[in-house]
A and B are shown apart, each in its own frame.
Chain A
Amino acid sequence: MTIKQTLNSVCVWIDSTALSQAIQNAPWVVPTVQTVHILAIAALMASMLMINLRLAGVVGRDQPLARVSGRFSPVIWWMLPLLLISGIFLIIGEPARALKNNIFQIKMLLVISAIFVTWFATSPLKKSPAHWDSRAGLATLVALISVSLWVAIIFAGRWIAYF
């Protein structure tokens, strides 16, 4: 079987499950879960931006980066599982709309990259709070990449509906 055929049969199988049928038969579920998904990404985006603006030295320079990261990183790590769970619900409700969609596939690659960059930026701060102080140029670059990736994820999320 080719990848495409496998993906097809996976979609057909998900579609036939009781949970998928239940989601499809209750029209309020998808918009409700999408709303939760958006509120979670709102919390993540604002936290991500606060960390990256400090990382690039644009905002909040009166407090150490480690403190900003300590305040906002946990929000990101808590929102990710919530986004994953709500996202999986949406996939189960409309498997073909997501899994077979090129934009969705790109979005998943972007998510993995964004998580890696966020981890790369924030995890060294726990053991060495001054980690980025001597690497200002790289810090700005990392912040820029991180913001761009998360913004691209939002755009991809909206564009899934159009492909």
Chain B
Amino acid sequence: MNIDSLLKSLEAFEFATAIREGEVLFPWLESIHVLAIVLVVGSIAIVDLRLLGWASRDRPVGTLTAEVLPITWMAFVVALITGALMFCAKAMIYGHNTYFLLKMGFLVLAGCNMLFFNRFSHKNVGTWGAPGSAVPQAAKVAGGLSLLLWVFIVVFGRWIGFTT
């Protein structure tokens, strides 16, 4: 099965057709998607800036991630669902859009960055995460990378709207 026939079969789903042909479903999905992604990027930036040592330095890293990351994850799930629905509605268009593919690529990179951080740096967060303690270099790099990747994800996301 080649990619195009897969994309076309996604578009053929009843819900995908309804989103594509309806007047209001698409803008509603877009609005929820924007709200969700804004919360993902804004909340993850709070953690990233703490890792970089630029903000929230009086708050233990572990405490901060425990209160902020649930917001990030909830918003991410919403962004994923609304994004997937919009993708199915216009799968052929998005599947061949460079900015969409770049956005997905950078999402994967952001995910890998997070996995590395969780696997290696976050484990001893109790030791280095206290206010006044030095953040390890690897964690700082993870924070900086995360911030940069998410900014690019927003950039590509906005450009999709101007190229489809």
Residues of A whose CB lies within 8 Å of any CB of B are 27, 30-31, 34-35, 38-39, 41-47, 49-50, 59-60, 62-63, 67, 71, 151, 154-155, 157-159, 161-162
Assess the A154–B154 pair: CB atoms within 8 A.
no
B27 at the interface (CB under 8 A from A): yes
Structural contact, B38 and A158, CB atoms closer than 8 A: no
A110 to B126, CA, bound (A): 42
Residues of B within 8 Å of A159, CB to CB, are 27, 31
- Residues of B contacting A: mostly: helix
What is the bound-complex CA distance between A38 and B30, given in angstroms? 13
Assess whether A38 is in contact with B35, with CB atoms less than 8 Å apart.
Answer: no
> Contact between A31 and B159 (Cβ–Cβ < 8 Å)?
yes
- Of all chain B residues, the one with the shortest Cβ separation from A63 is B59
List A contacts of B41 (CB < 8 A).
39, 42, 46
User: Which one of A43, A67, A151, A158 contacts B42 once the chains associate, using CB atoms below 8 Å?
Assistant: A43
Q: Count A/B pairs, Cβ under 8 Å.
A: 70
Closest chain A residue, CB of each to CB of B30: A158
Q: Give the residues in chain A near B31, CB-CB below 8 Å.
A: 154-155, 158-159
Could you tell me the distance in whole angstroms from the C-beta of B58 to the nearest C-beta in chain A? 8
Name the one of A38, A41, A47, A71 contacting B158, with C-beta atoms under 8 angstroms. A38
Contact B151 A162 (CB under 8 A): no
- Contacting pair A49 B30 (CB below 8 A): no
For A71, give the chain B residue with the smallest CB separation. Answer: B56
Q: A31-B159, A159-B31 are in contact. List 17 more A-B contacts (CB 8 A).
A: A31-B162, A38-B38, A38-B154, A39-B41, A45-B35, A45-B38, A46-B43, A46-B46, A47-B42, A49-B43, A60-B67, A62-B63, A151-B35, A155-B31, A155-B35, A158-B30, A161-B27
| Smallest Cβ-Cβ distance to B72: which chain A residue | A46
Q: Which residue from chain A places its CB closest to the CB of B160 in the assembled complex?
A: A31
